[in-house]
Structure 1
Amino acid sequence: MLTESTAAGFSAKNARPDQPTPRRDKKLGAFLPLSREKLTDPVYERDYSTDLELPPFRPKNLTQGAIGKALQFTRADDAVLKSYGVPKNLLVEFRILSSPCTVVRDATVKAVDGLDAARSGPSSASRVVLTGPAGCGKSTILLQAVEYAVRQDWIVLYISRGIPLVNSSTTFVYDPRTRTYEQPEVSYEILRRFQNVNANNLNIPIHEDYPLDTRTLRKGDSLSSLVKAGVDEPAVAAAVLGAVMSELTKQTTRPVLLAVDDLQAMYRASQYRDPQMRSIMPYHLSVPRIILEIASGKKSFPMGAFYGAVSTSNTYFRMPLELSEALGIPFEGPSGPYEKRHPEFVEYAKGLRNVPVPAQLQIKEASSLFEVWAKDRALHSVPNDELFMAKFTEASGNPRDFVWKGLLSSFAL
């Protein structure tokens, strides 16, 4: 249901010519829907292929009165889904549904209200991390905030999958000039997607000269031309990404949002190794270092915000002690005064504000979600109040469990 760029994460690599191309559904862990032309059985004749018809996801619809309503991400003009992609669990849901959609929650309204308040202030004053138990909807709330910012003409950099930045799935090379390890492939992908989403908002003059391998960007050239240089020359993409982020901390034309999912992965040793086989810390990798500097407030956008979300899906990149203590949430492990803490991570976590996402859906939020799946013919039995209450109770109101262990529990997905 989504484009190829949506499905691709930052960890994608080109297949070798002598190796067979892996099956796409196997690679993603998600099913691809059948085309309508193949649904020829008479059972499908009763208009089972009609797309959902819901109000579009627009900033004007994200009000207190809209809590509990379902909105649709329109694929025709949705640059976020096409370019930045979404976390894998959301990608699977969007593929099963005939059209990507979401439900407005109380946490959604609070998140976009926070963006409105941050529009005229520095990002160092608006550094938010969404926390909560597994499946409570942190990634969904973050995606909704990103969509809102894009449609409000913010400059937005959204990293929907943060773990591939530190799991040693892409190339890296040591740069003696900055004493960090550059990540050219990751930087190129970020710049390419950033350019696609923000094409209309990058006509901003840069503040200094930037000499590259084949040309020099002069002071006064547009930020768009700087981004394009990194896309046209992947070899210098890492240096260009650093320059772009530096320019965004100087410009005062538009507010900027940096949003990162899997943020907890930036606060522990990465899976990259140096020549002595020692783990490389994220602050020694070019892209995670950019994220940590903005998240900690060491660098700041004149107008804008930093939004992050933590996840529990990867057991290696679990919530670290330093980040847990900075956010004031319980740590699942030893946390006494004699437990080792990395001072660098403590510094990078200072000032982050914890915004807990409710563990349970409100009844009106859950009922709207139930209606979406019912209208899309995804339920295995007749939708009624008894089925709704049974599945809502079984899931204890948890959004992910309500859908996957409740509504879709009879499907072999």
Structure 2
Amino acid sequence: MGGFHSLRALHPFGPASRVAATSSGIYSATPTTIHARHSSGTNVAWTSKKKSQPGFVERGRRAMRKGGDLKPIKLGQIELENTNGPPNLPTISKLEVGPLLRNSAIAFSSGEKSISKVFGLPLAVYKDSRLLSQPFSVIRGVTLRSYGWMDKASKTPSRDTRIVLAGIPGCGKSVTLLQMVEYCASKGWIVFYVPRASNWVNSSSAYQYDAQSRIFQQPTLAKWALKRLSAFNESKLNSVTTSEDFRHEKKTIVSGSSILSLIALGIQDPSAAPRVLEFTLAELQKMNTPVLVAIDDFQALYQRSLYKDPLFNNIPSHALSMPRLMLEYASGVRSFRRGAVVGSLCMTNTDFHIPYELRDALGLTPDFSLHHMGARNQAYVDFSKGLQAAAMTEVWEHGRALHSKLTESLFLAKLAESSGNPREFLHRGLWSSVVTW
């Protein structure tokens, strides 16, 4: 059972009760009485004439071994109570999208085939979601607008819908992108989600130079992408077949074979994975089913990586197979018949800041005076052409996570403390009000 939990003892221990948990059981004690539930399932209690001191659990175990004056406690006198959020919030797939949905709380999908389980989450979103038994988000105006963008994109080529979510830190870019991914998945799109693009350029996986393509291949990352793509979209890919033969060394996937058999080849043989991924996406370009490519930490794809070439120089990201493939879709060089490419900028990533080329393309305000004097890399300028910039309270009260009843004064106080920033409102506002024990 995930999330925060409180242990409430129904036995009259008094206001000074203490609760402790060990590998052997659950213990609750007052200064004079110790109650325990042993791992065998037996509930027992014993009384000490002296005030309890540190080590009371160990003394209790010794008393249980010797027999002592034991008094059983009924099972119903200890209750484990979940207080970490409201149960049974609806997901976007069960709701009718419209203006009335604004300011509503909706749950993210859960289960083994959910976005978070298959692709993972951005680090900040992952940390926040761990505090909740049912991770959720709030539908805002930008959420409804993004749903409208996706509805239009389902009928047009992906080169016509290439969007980058930009804004100040904490304004909700990553959550909005995740909401778009959830929405497209609920509408039957084929989805490929990259929650942490910085992992593609931070020199954390194997790479090797390929003389034929003149770029550095990343077989481990390509294998990861194939596994996630097939796991999440398996039902949609079952009916997709290859339109031409695919050959790798002595292995051949003939035309008309299932695309899943081709993906299986890339998973089994990582050396083939980069070519298999490129070939698979090329086959998806010919489909009428919309395809969404969603990339968080998008700015990491537009600068030199932490990978090193033989001369120990940093390799440009466009010379790495995985970033280059995504850059070609982001720039419109490659395009799906129907779909969209959406990125989200991370403004707090100090290793991979937003480069000049991307700021120019998106029309973002420079963050320092030397912006206009900085040199531009023409390759990144080309890859960024055509990109467009797009600029929770009742749930926590229901989950009894606030120290007092939610009022207008409490809401306005927390809103003022955070200056209206969604992340700060959550972290410094609501979460600073969470009751702990």
Alignment of structure 1 residues 4-19 onto 2, 5 Å: none
Aligned counterparts, 1:11-410, within 5 A:
48=83, 52-58=87-93, 60-76=95-111, 78-202=113-237, 203-213=239-249, 215-249=251-285, 251-334=286-369, 338-356=373-391, 369-409=392-432
Which residue of structure 2 aligns with residue 10 of structure 1? Answer: none
Distance 1:47 1:243, change over 3 A: closer
CA shift at 1:174, angstroms? 0.8
Report 1 or 2 for greater relative contact order, CA contacts < 8 Å, sequence distance ≥ 6: 1
1:302-338 superposed Cα distances (whole Å, 9 cap, x missing partner): 1111011001121121111110110011121345654
Q: Matched residues, percent identical?
A: 36
- SS of 1:97's partner is coil
Report how far residue 385 of structure 1 moved: 2.4
Q: Are the structure 2 counterparts of residues 239 and 43 from structure 1 closer, same or farther at C-alpha, using a change threshold of 3 Å?
A: same
Q: TM-score, normalised by structure 1?
A: 0.84
SS state at 1:290 partner: helix
Report the 3-state secondary structure (helix = DSSP H, G, I; strand = E; otherwise coil) of the residue aligned with 2:106. Answer: strand
SS of 2:315's partner is coil
Three-state SS of the structure 2 residue aligned to 1:54 is: coil
The one-letter code of the counterpart of 1:322 is E
Q: Is the 8 A contact 1:134 1:312 kept in 2?
A: yes
Question: Do the aligned partners of residues 67 and 208 (structure 1) sit closer, same or farther apart at CA in structure 2, a change above 3 Å counting?
Answer: same
**Residues in 2 aligned to 1:336 and 1:193: alpha-carbon distance in whole angstroms:** 38
SS in 1 for 2:308: coil
Q: How many residues align?
A: 371
- Could you tell me which amino acid in structure 2 is paired with residue 349 of structure 1? S
RMSD: 2.5
| CA distance in 1 between partners of 2:151 and 2:136 (Å) | 23
Unaligned runs of 5+ in 2: 9-20, 29-76
Q: Give, as a single letter, the amino acid of the residue that structure 2 aligns with 1:305.
A: A
Cα drift, residue 120 of structure 1 = 1.4
Q: Deviations over 1:368-401 (max 9, x none)?
A: x011122223324443322211101111111100
State the alpha-carbon separation in 2 of the partners of residues 279 and 199 from structure 1.
37
Contact residue 210 and residue 216 of structure 2 kept, 8 A: yes
How far did 1:208 drift? 1.6
Structure ID, larger Rg: 2
Letter in 2 for 1:86: L
CA apart distance, 1:60: 3.8
Distance 1:74 1:256, change over 3 A: closer
- Give CA deviations for 1:239-283 in whole Å, capped at 9, x if unaligned: 21121122222x223111111001111111111110101110111
Q: Residue 277 of structure 1: SS of its match in structure 2? A: coil
